[in-house]
Structure 1
Amino acid sequence: MRHILVADDEKNMRWALKKALFNDGYVIDEAENGAVALNKFESSIYDLIILDIKMPEVNGIDVLKTIREKDKDIPVIVITAYGEIDTAIQAIKLGAVDYIQKPFDINELKLTIGKALEITNLKEEVKFLREELNGKEFDIIGESSKLKDVLNIVKKVAPTDATVLLLGESGTGKELIAKAIHNLSKRKDGPYIKVNCGALPENLLESELFGYEKGAFTGALSRKPGRFERANGGTIFLDEIGEISPSIQVKMLRILQEKEFERLGGIEILKADVRVIAATNKNLENMVKEGAFREDLFYRLNVVPIQLPPLRERVEDIPILIDYFLDKYSKNLRLEKFKIDKSAMKFLMEYSWPGNIRELENLVERMLILNHGSVIKKEDLPLGSNKMIKDVDKIVLPPNGISIDELEKNLIEQALERTGYNQTKAAKLLGLTRHTLIYRMEKYGIKERRDSD
């Protein structure tokens, strides 16, 4: 439903326009002069403005100038008196999309409104398509079973409006999954707004999320819509949600429960028709136990949790990702691709990738710049202080030999300690089945210290 602001000092004109346009399904707001028009523009969001040029207090030209300073895209149609063609031309130069002269036929105005809104829709569609085309280089790449499991959940949850919580280490592709959910949803034609909650200080994050009114704090010279307001009808992606403060957690809970919020310094209750996707690399359940994160907010966010696997658990995707990044950067940098021999590829597939896909992408780009056109061997990998080699080849046979049984027992104990004695997770770390792990625990007399599963 489109919202239109009609600004005209003639009461009968406003009434006639409101009645005629209301019957066509538009929601009409009125302003009796230029000052009121600017106040309403500051406090609400409109799809189109109909603006009379001659109004008391602030004339239409000055109103148009102020609107264009703050919003370059909203379509404005000006109404001029007969014979004021020079004023109409001035308005067009200032950014009005069209003008209409009094007296006018209401059907003519309706056609003008329809054309202006259609042009706006086309601009938004072109912008969306450009963003989509630019985003093609960030497609979700891989054929591993774990990635397919994630994508299957994405396909099921995307058409709904359910809140999604993306969990996983840094660099695992949480932002890509969030965008995929939006693109597959019924909100795909609406806005997609991203917020990195960990990148902004608390006071700035609060004003960015919820917006503020003029005078809400020092430096608030005009009303500013927040990210939730801008995301209306679409999706908001809250990255690093575990970083938000307790005070912002309270406001976030209200949005998720009541679908409403207020701008800083404001009293107007605004509705939030927004789908929320959140992401974190932290353990929110532990944060709840420690009192660092609200339990009720956690359950509101955790409606559909999606755990993204680290790259070390998607080993079969590593060659596919390398080829993808090679294609991407060889085109961008106009460099000849390198080739990777078997020893180097084996090594890359055995590496633990603590930085996940982001680390792999950076490595490929660096290798391309330094070794384009070459054949990459294990010793050619630009690994800085042999960090990767130490990570993979960290077990060194001592001069006096070693007991394999003692080594295996030690590794099993380390895996159990790391996973809090969760046998399923410990088995995965060791590349064993849970049954095999239990057998070897019994073999080496390793006792369970707590319930495993």
Structure 2
Amino acid sequence: MDGTVLIADDDRTIRTVLTQALTRAGCRVHATGSLGQLMRWVEQGTGDLVITDVMMPDGNGIDTIPHIRKLRPDLPVIVISAQNTIVTAIRATEVAAFDYLPKPFDLPDLMLRAAQALARRVRKSDLQPQPEGVTTTEESDPSLPLIGHAPAMQNLFRLVARVLNAELPVMITGEAGVGKSVIARSFHELSERSGAGLAVLTSADTSEEAIQQAMQRASGGTLIIEDPAGFDQAAQARLIGTVESWEAGPSRAQMPRLVTTAGPQPQAEVAAGRLRADLYFRLAGVSIEVPPLRARVDDIPPLARHLLARAASQGLPQRSLSPGATALVRAYPFPGNVRELENLMRRLALIAAASEISEAEVRANLPEVSQVIAMQPVPRAAPASAAFAPGQGGGVAALPLGEETGGQLSQSVETHLQRYFDLHGDQLPPPGLYDRILREIEKPLIEIALDATGGNQLRCADLLGINRNTLRKKLTELNIEVTRRRKLM
């Protein structure tokens, strides 16, 4: 790696680490804790690459980029920031930063991007100078809980930033409660269309008149379509017809951008016939998947703090989480994702006895892990051809338990049990754990076995390998209702 790198960061440790790493890589380095000094070096013609923090004592690093580009259009700038919000990623993209990395960053990753920047200097013909004097605050909007340092969220932010103003329909997929609707609105509120209309179309009102009115309200702006798989087939056909008439009509220039929210597997909805294929391909110009909260557990503590601040901005008491409370919140699986986390933070803000929320208060307001497991939807049984495969001698070989998830059943149970213990911190769970856990496993096992045997208790007992009288005793103990059905093994 060859070149002179200018570093601007008010953290002395970061300046030292970057200076040493870049020097070892063969670069010359000038480091400062001041944007003013950085700009003096730029004005003097010093440097082949700039690495700058955002929030600096004497200004905002992103706001300096238009001035840097005006002075030296060929000088690439890499932005690093502890403010891991979607707004940061979008702002960095808008001012044509070479790249953006959240703090704490991975040093080898930053070195790789620095090498790419030095090898691929920005060409003047690629740049469109931005107007000076544009300022922004890096404090995240309390009404926009789109923050996250996890790689999955940072990739999402970068993708949103790239396609924010593209003339393409967007489909945002993910589980319930992950924030799809918030991201959909950000496509309008943070884009060049924010000054025009915004309308939301749901399955509650999909008459031809309602669709036409929604398109008119969103003229030149954005139309958000929530869960089109929930529309009936006639409504989906009307929506396609309305979109086609706008595309071919005299108001094409004012056609709203289509932003859709959908479940985690919209293609499965197409395959099942709930979502028309022609509508899906019309809406999914760009697909953006929002990860569930359990896939980014390190984001839970800062997101919880953000949501507490948001609650305070809306009139609730100002609260913070104690270290024990933070650890407990981080360990919880949050099947309801961000929506569940927000509801929990608002509830704790209201009922906490002091300004700092205690571990005991969090524990008292979190459901038992066993209850959470019970609330999870049970996957539908796979067809017999998928559950069994030809074995030796013309028989069948059963699919091992847990194989459908890539691991053993015992590993899944161990994960849930460890979370249960983690929820209790330094304390032990209530006595009687053995019987409670066995009960949680026994009931769904017997219910599924009964369903598979059509309610035939003799066959069910044989399938489970237990005595029929034992099965009857379990049915009574677990309050399982038995009805005979036509389904047979």
**TM-score, normalisation: structure 2:** 0.45
- Relative contact order: is structure 1 or structure 2 higher (C-alpha 8 Å, sep ≥ 6)? 1
